[in-house]
Amino acid sequence: MSTESALSIRDLRVTFKTLLGNVQAVRGVSLDVQPGEVLGVVGESGSGKSVSFLAVMGLLGRNAVIEGSAKVGDTELVGANQRTLRKVRGNNVAMIFQDPLSALNPVHRVGAQVAEMVLAHHHGMSKDDAAKRAVELLDIVGIPQPEQRARQYAHEFSGGMRQRVMIAMAIANDPKVLIADEPTTALDVTVQAQILEVIDRIRKEMGTAVVLITHDLGVVARMADRVQVMYAGRVVERADVHSLFHQSDHPYTRGLLASQPTLGRERLSPIPGAPPNMLQPPSGCAFRVRCAHAAPECAGDVPELIQVRRTETACVRAQELEALV
Amino acid sequence: MRTSNSSKLAALAVGLALVVAACGSDSSSSPTTAGATETTGGTETTAGSETTAGGSDTTVAAETPAMKITYNINDKAVWDDGSPITADDFVCTFDAVMNTVGSLSTSGYDQIISVEAGESDHQVVATFKTVYAPYRGLFGSLIKKAAVADCNDVSGDFQTDFPFSNRPYKLESWDANQEILVPNENYWGDDKAVVQKVVMVPKADAETEIASLLSSEVDFIYPQYSPETADAVKGDSNVKVSIQFGGDYEGLYFQQNDGPFADATFRQAFAQSIDVEGLMAQVYEPIVAGAKQLTCGPIVPGRYCDETTFQNTYDPAAAEKLMTDAGWAKDGNGYWAKDGADAPEIRWMINTGNTRRENTQAFLIPLMQAAGFNVVADNCEAECVFQKRLPAMDYDLGMYISTAPPDPAYLTGSFTCDQVPSDANNQAGQNSQGWCNEEASALLEKADATIDLDERAGLIKDAIKMMREDWVMLPTFQFPKSGVYRTDKVGGPVEAELNNYLAFINFNQWTDVDGDGQIVIGAEQWPGCLNPITECANSSWYQWLISAPLTMGVYDTTNDGDYKLTPLMADEPVVEIL
Amino acid sequence: MLRFIVRRLLWAIPTLFIVTFVVYCALRLATNPLASYARANPRVAKDPEKMAQYVETNGLWPGFSGYVRGYFVWLKGFVTGNWQVSIKGSRPVWPNLKIALVNTIRLGLLAVMVSIPIGLSLGIFAALKPGRLRDTAVNTGAIIGFSVQPFISAIILQLFFGVQWAKWFGEPLLPTSGLYPPGHQGFDPVLMLKYMILPVIVVSIQSIASYSRYMRASLLDVLNSDYLRTARSKGISERRVLVKHALRNAMIPIVTLAALDIGAIVGGLIISEAVFDYPGMGVFFLNAQSNGDFPELMPWMVIITSSVILFNLLADLAYAWLDPRIRLD
């Protein structure tokens, strides 16, 4: 892939050491995000999609072991010291989280929280200037009366407004990459659309690369340029958004699509079974235990991503299954 | 409680003056007399002072002088401000005791018709309506007329200060944390203060006292004696324990007003079946090595004690014969029974939690049962024992400590017929054994009106012999008092007066060995206030910390349980029977 | 805010009314002031006229209506400053109560000043590395410290610094009782401080234990919170994350707890004071209680109750001040 990637991850592995054993949350994820591009990362809870990016940001606990590589520009983040990570965090890479109420500090005014982000990477700036910049940012993300709102606390905001605050905070330093971890999950549908619009506007205006982590394929369809589907800590399928929705070759992706409510379809078909226990993930294709098309060979080597039709798919039977579509 | 009872009586009858009145009743409550602590768990008992002493209240009408005492005050005697001590102070003291609201017992004083100046203001004449033998207890301390607003009511005085002294020391300061005494420069006697400062500090209990003695915070303590005290200080060679035998004595008492001991034969046989020697070895020997039985009765060795009276009471063979002769026979359980009735049950009451008495029960009950007496332990809390059941004679066998004051008049209050609880004395009589022997009562009452000491002693001894013949009680042990002190901090005659009713009264003679300029005495009960007439004075520790160190009267008590004239007097008071 | 304070203070008045009335009834039942008075003044006790007079003066009528009337007699005297005099010694109550109160506040505040910084530091120290040796050490220490009753720690310390030290080196290292050495007169802060070392330690042990545990738990909560992750994602220094975000938030419940704790001090040191012969509210209470001294016990109770009510209010105010989510109106 191109060296101009805003974010480039290679073979990222995250293991949590717990009392019960090692949880292999991420087992070799690679991806690239280009400036101005939206990469959707899709998967069920526990598929490792959030963990991958928290690992990149260095925000996981002490019990997480991170291997592989994650580069922002020329800066390697895996194994980097705190100083390097701090320079990158909030500056080159910013993150917004799922629940903006708990993600905002309840006892600090929102303006101050945004200003703190500004100050963190503009050491010479005065507090007043930072505060002014915070108000500007709140204005940019579409918060009305930003000066007054800046003096309020998170609990005085609605959910959507809070997420706007989070976005304002995230874009404070014109980051190259914006990681949005389920940014709309906790919000009403109408508000969801507004937030997505804000993110899209930012991307367009600033040329920011956006990683959109979600389990909501609707959001992906609307926002993403490309999509990666994750299952059990691995990328199982990767494609541009149109191909994924129309020519997916991985049974899991198809299952996900079938479980999404779509206008006109009469019934939803959820994927049977539950995600695997990551203490001891199944050998071979981790999805085979839930897969309607599983065959003995699925238990063999871990399938690699290979180009099948218009998507890259990690399924040994992809070629055969193509016919079933 | 017995202790308080007798000591109340003591207070009443003896009436060792205002303060001493207090002392009497409070000796009951004092920590040194086991009874006190037992009775109310450390709180001071005041009950004693309420009782009517042997009929003294009833002689209101008789105003005919029966006795006159003339006191001559030493010309040199002055208060700490240099003003002379005169007859006025005696008059004031008398008025204060008799008229101040809420004061302690007036007994003795209520026998006085008048107190007046005699030929000079240094002579006092007290006229009595009866012959009052315990007169030495009167005017044990004095109130300075000039220091109080109204001698007839001193209850408002002494709020924060005790404003005078005629002793070697005077009060410099007193509060809830300490009392400081400094030398009285105007003291005229020979026993002037040795140390520049004496400090008394409150200690919560015996353990705290010992800890602060061991850490050299205090120099001297006066705890109730226990072998644990001696053990605790064993490791420190600079600490000395002095054990002395004072007025405290323990005994077994037979309630004979009703119940099984109303039968004289049964009572005698029971008493003769008690192995006192065995009891000494089993219970008292571990407390004091070489413990010997107290054999003179409800009194301690001294002028009034005949040590042969209670010797050799243990005679099981005689007891057996006595019972058999009287028609008693052992039933199926091995208990004496008579005339087809059930074997009588003997309820033995002690206060729970007293290890010594519980040990005594554990030792004696099996022996007595084997001897055919159905004894059962019937114990309750100290308050229940001493405030309720003892005064109500709701027991058969009792065991407790009493304190004998220097004057034996307390016997009159404890053992005469008048004092058996009855409606006539509002059930407040102190004779809770219910023993009524008219002859003995007459002897005791006569003794209180007999001035001659030897004659009086004879009467008392005779009365106590009757007590033995009637099996009223069995004395067991004269209980020790203890003074514990640091030899590296305090010296001189520290041990000389530990037996005294006024305890460490002679501390003005002690020396400051380590040269820190002061002697520190730990007090187990802190006097709550300073007034010598009101209830404040109702504790031994008040007596020891406030009144005895600050005021002197006609007589002081001595270490051997007697009285001696103080330097306040020019000569021995003249007693005239009219 | 001001409205809230005024309203709460106004509420405190009926609360105090009710509480003092209940306490009045309970104390009268428990101490029986008339009997205490009779016990203390045996000769008066025999004089029905004088006893009746005492009942009238002090409102000690029997029966429920008697209690109610008596309560108002007491209340009027209390509010107008005409306190009933003590039964023992017939003295004014306030001078001694004031001394006791000052002494206890001094001891309590010193203990708070020692135990809060130490307890919180230990809690932070432990929470920063949960599960590690230091955490285990602090936790174990806290459990031990918490379970050691004051009278046990007091006796151990007294034996060690007083008795045993005196045995080894001739004189005790630290004084074991009182406020000053026997015979001392006047005010001497340095000497007094020396005498307060052991009592302060004893009072502090349990406080340190509980503060460290509360602080650890509260800080761990905050450290695992989403907003702390947000703070870290900003790229600010770890120190700033801790101080500005974690501690500030973790302190909210602690401040409340501390306020309630301090409010309980005036009545809460009875055992420690007794063991050290420390002339404070506890010793005052024990003496008054053993004398059945109703006129001394009532003001004591009022002070204790008022303190608890007042510090409850302060705890609420502190909570509201620290946490903008709490609104006082």
Q: pLDDT by residue (tens digit) across B435-453?
A: 999 999 999 999 999 999 9
Question: How many domains would you assign to chain C?
Answer: 2
Indicate yes or no: CB of C182 within 8 angstroms of CB of B518. yes
Average pLDDT, chain B: 84
What pLDDT, on a 0 to 100 scale, did the predictor assign at position B156? Answer: 83
Give B176-188 pLDDT, tens digit per residue: 889 999 999 999 9
Range B163-169 average pLDDT: 95
Q: Which residues contact A324 (CB under 8 A, 6 or more apart)?
A: A293
The answer to whether B99 faces chain C, any CB pair under 8 Å, is no
Residue that terminates a domain, selected from C20, C46, C80: C80
Range A275-294 average pLDDT: 86
Residues of C in contact with B536 (CB under 8 A): 88-89
| pLDDT over 80 (residue B79) | yes
When pLDDT is cut at 50, 70 and 90, the band that residue B60 belongs to is very low
Q: What value, to the nearest 5°, has the Cα angle with vertex B277 and ends B271 and B278?
A: 95
Residues of B in contact with C276 (CB under 8 A): none
More confident position, B62 or A265: A265
When pLDDT is cut at 50, 70 and 90, the band that residue B29 belongs to is very low
Indicate yes or no: CB of C235 within 8 angstroms of CB of A88. yes
Query: Can you give the residue ranges of every domain in chain A?
Result: 7-224, 242-321
* C145, C51: one domain: no
Q: Is residue C105 part of a domain?
A: yes
What pLDDT, on a 0 to 100 scale, did the predictor assign at position B18? Answer: 33
Q: Is C89 helix (H, G, I), strand (E, B) or coil?
A: coil
The answer regarding whether domain A7-224 maps to CATH 3.40.367.20 reads: no
* C72, C99: one domain: no
Residues of C at the B interface (Cβ-Cβ below 8 Å)? Answer: 39-46, 50, 88-91, 96, 99, 158-159, 162-163, 165-167, 171-172, 175-183, 185, 274-275, 277, 279, 283, 287, 290-291
* C69, C112: one domain: no
**Number of other CB atoms surrounding residue B380 within 10 Å:** 16
| pLDDT over 70 (residue C301) | yes
* C245, C158: one domain: yes
Q: Is residue C41 part of a domain?
A: yes
The CA-to-CA distance between both ends of chain B, in Å, stands at 38
Q: Is residue C307 part of a domain?
A: no
> What's the Cα-to-Cα distance from A178 to each of A173, A185, A204, B76, B355, rounded to whole Å?
11, 17, 12, 106, 82
Lowest mean pLDDT among A279-283, B10-14, C20-24: B10-14
Lowest mean pLDDT among B158-172, B547-561, C29-43: C29-43
Burial of B487 (0-12, 13-18, 19+ CB in 10 A): middle
**What is the spatial distance between Cα A15 and Cα A11, in angstroms, rounded to a whole number?**
13
* C42, C132: one domain: no
Lowest mean pLDDT among B286-295, B390-399, B532-541: B532-541
What pLDDT, on a 0 to 100 scale, did the predictor assign at position B28? Answer: 34
Q: Is residue C310 part of a domain?
A: no
Give A202-250 pLDDT, tens digit per residue: 999 989 999 999 988 889 999 999 999 999 999 999 999 999 888 888 8
**Number of other CB atoms surrounding residue B65 within 10 Å:** 15
Q: Is residue C297 part of a domain?
A: no
| pLDDT over 90 (residue B139) | yes
* C141, C228: one domain: yes
What pLDDT, on a 0 to 100 scale, did the predictor assign at position B192? Answer: 92
* Residue in A82, A87, A103 closest to C230 by CB: A103
Range B520-533 average pLDDT: 87
What pLDDT, on a 0 to 100 scale, did the predictor assign at position B108? Answer: 86
Residue that terminates a domain, selected from C23, C46, C80: C80
* C40, C180: one domain: no
- Of the candidates C163, C276, C173, the one whose C-alpha atom is nearest the C-alpha of residue B238 is C163
pTM: 0.76
Which helix (H) or strand (E) element contains residue B374? strand B374-377
Closest CA–CA distance from residue C85 to any residue of chain A (Å): 52
What pLDDT, on a 0 to 100 scale, did the predictor assign at position C111? Answer: 93
Range A165-182 average pLDDT: 93
Phi, psi at residue A213, to the nearest 5°? -90, 125
The answer to whether B107 faces chain C, any CB pair under 8 Å, is no
* C62, C111: one domain: no
Domain interval for residue C56: 2-80
In C, minimum Cα distance to A87 occurs at C235
Supply the Cα-derived Rg of chain A in whole angstroms. 20
* Residue in A59, A104, A107 closest to C233 by CB: A59
Q: Is residue C176 part of a domain?
A: yes
When pLDDT is cut at 50, 70 and 90, the band that residue B232 belongs to is confident
What CATH number has the domain bearing residue C283? 1.10.3720.10
- Of the candidates C276, C296, C295, the one whose C-alpha atom is nearest the C-alpha of residue C285 is C296
More confident position, C117 or B48: C117
Q: Is residue C144 part of a domain?
A: yes
Residues of B in contact with C50 (CB under 8 A): 101
Give B240-274 pLDDT, tens digit per residue: 998 888 788 999 999 999 999 999 999 999 999 99
When pLDDT is cut at 50, 70 and 90, the band that residue B85 belongs to is very high
Residue that terminates a domain, selected from C58, C80, C102: C80
Q: Which residues contact C319 (CB under 8 A, 6 or more apart)?
A: C252, C255, C256, C326
What pLDDT, on a 0 to 100 scale, did the predictor assign at position B473? Answer: 95
Q: Is residue C122 part of a domain?
A: yes
Residue A316 gets the label, from left (phi > 0), alpha (psi -120 to 50) or beta, of: alpha
Q: Which residues contact B108 (CB under 8 A, 6 or more apart)?
A: B12, B13, B14, B15, B132, B134, B135, B137, B138
What six digits make up the tokens of B472?
């009223």
